[in-house]
Structures are given as C-alpha cells and as structure tokens.
Amino acid sequence: MRKITEIIVHCTATRERLDIGAAEIDRYHRQRGFDSIGYHYVVRLDGSIEKGRDESAVGAHCLSHNVCSIGVAYVGGLDADGKPKDTRTPAQKRSLSALLTELRRRYPGAKIHGHRDFAAKACPCFDATKEYVAL
C-alpha cells in the first residue's frame, strides 16, 4: 500500500445544483487523457459518497502530491454564474466530515488540505485546512 501523508479536498468546479457523479467525472477525465477518474472519492449533492480510483492507486488530482495523497471531491464549487463559491449542501458537509474522519482514522499521520493550498486555484472554494484541522 502507498504511504498516505495528505488527504486533499477538491470541488468539481460545477455550478451549484448540478448533480454529477463519479461516472460523469470518469468520462470527463478520460477525455482529458487520464486513465480513469482522478479522485478517490466523490461526494454528491445528497451526501452520497461514490468511489473513484481505488485508494491503492495513485490519484490524478494534485500535481506533485498524487503519490502520497487521497483525493476527495465534492460536487459543486461554482455559483450560478460560474464564479467560485462554497456550494456544499448540509448533506455534503456531513458526509465530507464523516469521510475525512474515516480517512484520518485509516491514515493517522495524514494532514487534510484543500487543493488551493498547492495550486493557484480557489478549489475547493473554502478553507479545508482550517475547517478540518480538528479531525
């Protein structure tokens, strides 16, 4: 198994209320040349959690951090006009917290970060590092 030192939170950069899932993201990522979905988990608007890549597989979600990380994306991140916005539903917030708690239990040394901590992007459109520091 890979040594996981980071859990990186993303948004899918889709407009609020547009509900997509792992299958749609997988198709999009394959069109971009990935061998499969880049994230390990996707949290849909209703809070359901879909598996993406197997945790044992290196992700394709954060340049220079994929080898040692698990990528988690929530669906959303843009307002109706396409501008960055924290669009997480209450169900997504609960599911993200539960999923991240479980991942931290399995990978106790891993730190939780937002994609924006490593790239010049708004993703995930909230400060994940600060929000999840206590997990």
- Residues annotated as part of the active site: 10, 39, 115, 121, 123
- Are the C-beta atoms of residues 66 and 6 closer than 8 Å to each other? no
SS3 of the chain: the string is: CCCCCEEEEEECCEECCCCCCHHHHHHHHHHCCCCCCCCCEEECCCCCEEECCCCCCCCCCCCCCHHHEEEEEECCEECCCCCECCCCCHHHHHHHHHHHHHHHHHCCCCEEEEHHHCCCCCCCCCCHHHHCCCC
